[in-house]
Structure 1
Amino acid sequence: MKRLLLSTLALSLLANVAQAADPSPTTVVAKATALGSGIYPENMDKAVRAQDDFYRYAQGAWLSANEIPADKSDWGTFMKAREDVQQQLRTIVESAAKDGNKRAGSDLQKIGDLYNSFMDEKKLNALGVAALKSELAQIASLKDKAAIARLIAHFHEIGVNTPIRAGVGQDSKNSSQYAVDISQGGLGLPNRDYYLKQDDARMADIRAKYKAHIEKMLTLAGEKNATAQADNIIALETALAKAQWTAVENRDPVKTYNKLAVSELNKMTPAFNWTSFVQAAHIHGKVNELIIQQPSFIKGFDESLNNFSLDAWKSYFSWHLISAYSPFLSSDFVNEDFGFKGATIAGIKENRSRDKRGVALTDQVLGETVGKIYVEKYFSPEVKQRTEKMVGYFLEAFKQSIETLDWMSPETKKQAQIKLSKISVKIGYPRQWRDYSSLTIKSDDLVGNLMRARKARYDREVAKLGKPIDREEWHMTPQTVNAYYSPEMNEIVFPAARLQSPLFDVNAEDAFNYGALGISIGHEISHAFDDQGAQYDGDGNLRNWWTAEDQEKFKKKTRVLVEQYNTYSPLPGHFLNGELTLGENIADNAGIVMALRAYKLSLQGKPAPVIDGWTAEQRLFMGLAQARRGKSREQRAITLIKTDPHSPGEFRVNGSLVNHPDFYSSFDVKPGDKMYLTPDKRVSIW
């Protein structure tokens, strides 16, 4: 399952958002108060029948009227919420940056000086690549391939992409202990398909542009023979791509759990010395074994280490160092980096303004320091209480649902109930805030700030080894517009920023919010019981708690869901991968069922009101559609199809609803309608 990586990779150009035409938070509140339903009729396309395409019926007018902002690859409800948060964070960060009386070492000093170090474009332009001079010299000084193990360990500390990625997380088979995972990495393109799809014209074009991009960046850095170096880098990365596991293979938590002693690993990889790596990575003596997620890739990496020359590897590491830090160097590096990662890969038309990038960087580096101020200024205790109450109804809905399953035996139901009862819930913000007091931030040393911050994060992760599990830790900041379920912790986590308009409307009646926010609550809880999460018990251990017969029934149901999503095509010629998206599709399938059940429980026997002509069920489904509203540029959409375990919003809505009997009754869906599935083809799992 997901781990915290010891290596923090270069910040994504896609992480930030810009404003575009959409209801502002103030407008949303006013209209929700007037309507009471939370529904925006002006966003609907009433020329589309709900029974044929509910997604476009609910928001077709919005989809037609709203363009993706020039500096974005996506736009929609989640991106709008993230933009609102960025505006809030901007007030925090810029205020700290302007305060000339900050106490040295204080949170405000760190926030302000990090932002100012990014905003000093004149100084960065004067420096060029000089900030990386010592690191590039270290690569150039490599005397033999034996030193590569130590270099990779160092690159983990400063956040540079390498063929192997080390991360600290709970041991999946002993969740009371921390362990070190080793997983595949080392590619400069989004995934292995970009290197290996020889019959795909778009992939071939991207590979050609990637080579030109490498040449340009190496030339800017003063490297000689950039063309030959780029050829070596592409060849090396292609060899790594051939050895990598597919995204579907990586979803199997059993196959990706391979605990091996360092001595065993040294026998597997004659060219790569794991003893040197663990010593240089400062984990020697802290763990006796490493969990290898893709053993065959480790062997493939070792073969590449043996087959490619030392000079080729020097070029490869120089390239990835430059690529990781190019957004923080002079304008020529920044522009070239955006031109490929932003424009070519994601289809973004223009880079974000420097101030937006500066706020985003400060937020990412000093997440909980910024988050603490964010919570104090922008998060209401009432929203936290209301959400916690909603979660309670969802847990009760799951409890009742498990008992009514006609395909599960009493023995397995008992184990499912035990797991459900042990799910912990975190809402809003952590009880204990992260301490950044030892981190030095200077107003005139951007690259140094980043290297020190990444090293501090690395050290914090390594320090966990041998200690009890920190059950108070959060893996998202409060200002993150997202949520997650952790199978090893058996917990759901909803940051404060996820609990805001337009994803949650405090002035809309409950049914709407049970669709808009509640679908995510049900979604995250159901991850405990999707095809991956269901392999973990209530204590977070990878253990089979199913009877063989029940497990087969579960797999039979999920196979139907795989086949259903395999037919969905977001773009002509590009179909979803039902196996890659299975876990998220199960969670969407169960989430909408539980949203309606939880809402009915919240009524406590009272009749559900009809508001503005909408029944409670209709408002709930409309809330779901509004929360999943969005659109992507074609380049971005293709990348997501190949890499994202989530289906696009259109299919998260329509794909869930076609399986839900209450949707049929709520909108009078009948045979012949495009959203009609015969009962034998509908999937109901939880």
Structure 2
Amino acid sequence: MKYLFTGIGMASMACFVACNQGHTDSQASSPDALSVNVDSTVNPANDFFDYANGGWIKRNPIPPEYSAWGIGNLVQEELYKRLRTINEHAVEKPTDDISKKIAAFWKSGMDSAAINAAGIKPLEADLKAIDAVTNTQELVALAAAQNVISGAMCSPYIGQDAKNSEVMALQFYQGGLGLPDRDYYFNTDARTTKIREAYPAHIARMLQFTGMDSSAAKAAASNIFKLETLLAKSSRKLEALRDPEANYHKMPVTELNKIAGNIDWSNFIRQQGITAHADTIIVGQPEFYTALSNAIKSQPLETWKNYLKWQLIASSAQGLSDEIATADFEFYGKLMKGQEKQKPRWKRVLETEEGAMGEALGQLFVKEFFNATAKKRYETLVEDIRAALKVRIENLTWMSDSTKQKALYKLSKITKKVGYPDKWKDFSAMEIKEQSYAANIAAARKWWHHYQLNKLGKPVDRNEWDMTPQTYNAYYNPSNNEIVLPAGIFTVPGKRDEELDDALVYGYAGASTIGHEITHGFDDEGRQFDAAGNLKSWWTKDDEAKFNQRAAVMIKQFDGYVVVDSLHINGKATLGENIADLGGILLGWDAFQKTEQFKKGAPIAGYTPAQRYFMGYSLGWLSHTKKEDLARRVLVDVHSPAKFRVNGPFSDVDAFYQTYNVKEGNGMWRPDSLRVRIW
């Protein structure tokens, strides 16, 4: 995953594998996890992704409620079942405060009759407050208060100061758009154009739930779209947001008042509930705030009021009646992602609960599904990967000794967090109880808002986790110089740990997760942060230039891949993830060569240990995606699509060429001069 920023709002959600010594065919108690997915009609030297995963893809169409289907979904299905059981047991027999809150949230979310009967009522007080606004001062004050729920206008959050990682700072980022990215407002390809043209009608449909008649809603939607387009024009592109130095502007609040003077930012901050430690702020994109200020003055008050209504109902839709939630899904799920129908209510409630109080669920989850022995196993694997990178850095021919020493020091200081936190968050003050679903969601949002605000002026808690234990994901945090590997990511669907050979594990967990996250500390963004987590140059100018030259080879490589229709991968936007993928593969391979399985060379299910390593990595990206969602991801995602996360980096790995006898003329072949050589 990319770097994770925790904002003012609810917690984030999230992924991976397992580890053991090699086994022989006779020891397997169920079909081999790798060979069962192979499409033997495909030459691995031509398209390794289709070879390793194509058999499974052919047998497993994408279910109608999903836009993609693959390994992550299979793991998530197991997690869904486990979490549903935890919730149902909590309802049957709540034993403590945590289980009582879990039970109350689950019951309120599953009470569809009460939710449907309430309709728009949970938002009535907020809608009346918007109607009562008579001037821009009142508008901005109300927008600041509602921003906590809706994210209207902009994106404030509390996070570590990139240049002083010991300090939690108030930061302002661009935001306020109803479409996922600024390019949706301007790109002219057929898919994006179709979504953009349908967007005003969707806004109008949602506004009618607030009480507007159809003609008024249509006119309001047209004006809202024009307003958002104004904001989008001054929003930075996805690739531009990946430059940490260019998106760091520390200033006193009075300076923001100078460049965006139609908004009283001191009052805006107070309306967020911040009364101290906010005289100085970090603004990511100053030009966006200038545009926002100008729009406050240039756009009619009525347009802004309708915009706040739209943002409010859009951000709340999935917690409201089926009619409203379905309307939201028709645009954001069906049109934008290609989903044919919504997930069942129980899965949607689990997803909302995860964001609201996922770590509370995690306390119960790890008791049953991830013990201390498993935690130790993956901590050891992290050290194997760290040792492999140490050797690689020491042997680099393009980097000077002075930069090498600093790189090695940073590597030694990377903190590993595996499985679950040593200290859990205290949710006792979160007012989840026997009340409506909307009220419980609001209570969780309020708790998270105050939780984040309370960080201002206090020491950074470097022990905190920004993902829950049951999450199928992982992350590197540059400000803490840490990798975080939740228990959920070590899940192989349908398999026990003892069924997994090292080749699979070193590819699946060691390369695509652990090695990937460690490499993020040395990708084009992560390398700009020092061992203490500060945005600070520790490279010589010559070494930096050499790194950028090598990274440019990767940018060009991925720019050349066509994903769907005429849409290419954005090589600059995906550079960090592509570097991390390649680094992870190389580190996993180096570490795997030291194992007994690799040294003995005995085949399993007809495949050598080396072959199984590359197949194991590919298992981590086993999936296929609908064209609609592929097109969306090209615009909004800093990760390349799954197929290219396998074929792209493998084409740069010499050991892959040797293992599968890749020759010139094969689809996976790249001339040596064009292979990426960084770490």
Q: Would you say same fold, with TM above 0.5?
A: yes
Q: State whether residues 135 and 301 of structure 2, in contact with CA within 8 Å, keep that contact through their aligned partners in structure 1.
A: yes
Q: Which residue does the alignment assign to 1:222?
A: 211
Q: Which residue does the alignment assign to 1:203?
A: 192
Q: Matched residues in 2 for 1:270 and 1:331: separation?
A: 42
Q: Which residue does the alignment assign to 2:45?
A: 51
1:164-221 deviations in Å (ceiling 9; x for gaps): 1111111110011111110011111111111112x33322321232211111111122
Q: Matched residues in 2 for 1:625 and 1:3: separation?
A: 28
Of residues 436-445 and 363-372 in structure 1, the stretch that sits farther from structure 2 once superposed is 436-445
Q: Which residue does the alignment assign to 1:23?
A: none
Of residues 612-621 and 314-323 in structure 1, the stretch that sits farther from structure 2 once superposed is 612-621
Q: Matched residues in 1 for 2:555 and 2:625: separation?
A: 23
1:518 and 2:510 aligned? yes
Q: State whether residues 8 and 160 of structure 1, in contact with CA within 8 Å, keep that contact through their aligned partners in structure 2.
A: no
1:509 and 2:501 aligned? yes
Match of 1:244 among 235, 240, 250: 235
Whichever residue aligns with residue 393 of structure 2, its letter is I
Q: 1:435 to 1:8 in 2, by over 3 A?
A: closer
Q: Matched residues in 2 for 1:351 and 1:121: separation?
A: 15
Alignment length (residue pairs): 666
1:416 and 2:418 aligned? no
1:115-169 deviations in Å (ceiling 9; x for gaps): 1111111112221111111111111111211123322321233x21212111111
Q: 1:499 to 1:144 in 2, by over 3 A?
A: same
What are the within-5 Å matches in structure 2 for residues 77-92 of structure 1? Answer: 77-92=71-86
Q: 1:31 to 1:495 in 2, by over 3 A?
A: farther
Q: Matched residues in 2 for 1:373 and 1:605: separation?
A: 38
Match of 1:558 among 548, 551, 562: 551
SS of 2:150's equivalent in the other structure is coil
SS of 2:282's equivalent in the other structure is strand
What are the within-5 Å matches in structure 2 for residues 525-536 of structure 1? Answer: 525-536=518-529
C-alpha displacement of 1:442? 2.7
C-alpha displacement of 1:490? 0.1
1:76 and 2:62 aligned? no
Q: 1:35 to 1:401 in 2, by over 3 A?
A: farther
C-alpha displacement of 1:503? 10
Whichever residue aligns with residue 594 of structure 2, its letter is L
1:160 and 2:170 aligned? no
What are the within-5 Å matches in structure 2 for residues 362-401 of structure 1? Answer: 362-401=353-392
Match of 1:194 among 172, 184, 198: 184
Match of 1:642 among 635, 646, 650: 635
Q: 1:604 to 1:648 in 2, by over 3 A?
A: closer
1:37-61 deviations in Å (ceiling 9; x for gaps): 9543332111111111111111211
Whichever residue aligns with residue 565 of structure 1, its letter is F
Q: Matched residues in 2 for 1:684 and 1:394: separation?
A: 18
C-alpha displacement of 1:572? 2.5
Q: Which residue does the alignment assign to 1:538?
A: 531
Q: Matched residues in 2 for 1:642 and 1:461: separation?
A: 30
C-alpha displacement of 1:407? 0.5
Gapped runs of 5+ residues in structure 2?
16-22
Q: State whether residues 25 and 605 of structure 2, in contact with CA within 8 Å, keep that contact through their aligned partners in structure 1.
A: no
Q: State whether residues 10 and 356 of structure 2, in contact with CA within 8 Å, keep that contact through their aligned partners in structure 1.
A: no
Of residues 302-311 and 595-604 in structure 1, the stretch that sits farther from structure 2 once superposed is 595-604
Q: 1:552 to 1:37 in 2, by over 3 A?
A: farther
Q: 1:551 to 1:604 in 2, by over 3 A?
A: farther
Q: Matched residues in 2 for 1:139 and 1:475: separation?
A: 33
Of residues 239-248 and 119-128 in structure 1, the stretch that sits farther from structure 2 once superposed is 119-128
Q: State whether residues 568 and 634 of structure 2, in contact with CA within 8 Å, keep that contact through their aligned partners in structure 1.
A: yes
Q: Which residue does the alignment assign to 2:19?
A: none
Whichever residue aligns with residue 255 of structure 2, its letter is E
1:476 and 2:467 aligned? yes
Match of 1:629 among 622, 628, 634: 622
What are the within-5 Å matches in structure 2 for residues 559-638 of structure 1? Answer: 559-603=552-596, 607-638=600-631
Q: State whether residues 34 and 616 of structure 2, in contact with CA within 8 Å, keep that contact through their aligned partners in structure 1.
A: no
Of residues 111-120 and 395-404 in structure 1, the stretch that sits farther from structure 2 once superposed is 111-120
Match of 1:315 among 277, 298, 306: 306
Percent of aligned pairs sharing the same letter: 37
Q: Matched residues in 1 for 2:550 and 2:558: separation?
A: 13
Q: 1:433 to 1:226 in 2, by over 3 A?
A: same
C-alpha displacement of 1:601? 3.3
Match of 1:173 among 163, 185, 192: 163
Q: Which residue does the alignment assign to 1:5?
A: 7
SS of 1:176's equivalent in the other structure is strand
Q: Matched residues in 2 for 1:515 and 1:594: separation?
A: 10
Q: Matched residues in 1 for 2:544 and 2:228: separation?
A: 39
Q: 1:426 to 1:6 in 2, by over 3 A?
A: same
1:447 and 2:438 aligned? yes
C-alpha displacement of 1:287? 2.5
C-alpha displacement of 1:550? 0.7
Q: Which residue does the alignment assign to 2:92?
A: 98
Q: Matched residues in 1 for 2:585 and 2:418: separation?
A: 20
Q: Matched residues in 2 for 1:30 and 1:605: separation?
A: 13
Q: State whether residues 266 and 273 of structure 1, in contact with CA within 8 Å, keep that contact through their aligned partners in structure 2.
A: yes
Q: 1:484 to 1:505 in 2, by over 3 A?
A: farther
1:458-481 deviations in Å (ceiling 9; x for gaps): 101110111111011000000100
Q: Matched residues in 2 for 1:196 and 1:190: separation?
A: 13
SS of 2:484's equivalent in the other structure is strand
Q: 1:553 to 1:37 in 2, by over 3 A?
A: farther
Q: Matched residues in 2 for 1:37 and 1:621: separation?
A: 18
Whichever residue aligns with residue 453 of structure 1, its letter is A
Match of 2:648 among 651, 655, 661: 655
What are the within-5 Å matches in structure 2 for residues 117-132 of structure 1? Answer: 117-132=108-123
Q: Which residue does the alignment assign to 1:681?
A: 674
Of residues 628-637 and 441-450 in structure 1, the stretch that sits farther from structure 2 once superposed is 441-450
- Greater RCO (Cα-Cα under 8 Å, separation 6 or more): 2
What TM-score, normalized by structure 1, do the two folds share? Answer: 0.94
Structure 1 stretches of at least 4 aligned residues deviating more than 6 Å after TM superposition: 29-32
C-alpha displacement of 1:482? 0.3
Q: State whether residues 101 and 432 of structure 2, in contact with CA within 8 Å, keep that contact through their aligned partners in structure 1.
A: yes
Whichever residue aligns with residue 525 of structure 1, its letter is I
Of residues 560-569 and 88-97 in structure 1, the stretch that sits farther from structure 2 once superposed is 88-97
Q: 1:37 to 1:254 in 2, by over 3 A?
A: farther
Gapped runs of 5+ residues in structure 1?
17-28
Q: Matched residues in 2 for 1:50 and 1:414: separation?
A: 39
Q: Matched residues in 1 for 2:101 and 2:91: separation?
A: 9
Q: Matched residues in 1 for 2:27 and 2:359: separation?
A: 33
Q: State whether residues 503 and 516 of structure 1, in contact with CA within 8 Å, keep that contact through their aligned partners in structure 2.
A: no
Q: Matched residues in 2 for 1:443 and 1:348: separation?
A: 33
SS of 1:7's equivalent in the other structure is coil
1:268-319 deviations in Å (ceiling 9; x for gaps): 1121110111111232321321110001111111111111111110000011
Q: 1:681 to 1:195 in 2, by over 3 A?
A: same
1:356 and 2:347 aligned? yes
1:426-450 deviations in Å (ceiling 9; x for gaps): 0000011111111112333211111
SS of 1:169's equivalent in the other structure is strand
Q: Which residue does the alignment assign to 1:22?
A: none
1:303 and 2:283 aligned? no
Q: Matched residues in 2 for 1:683 and 1:40: separation?
A: 27
C-alpha displacement of 1:606? 5.2
Q: 1:610 to 1:40 in 2, by over 3 A?
A: closer
Whichever residue aligns with residue 119 of structure 2, its letter is G
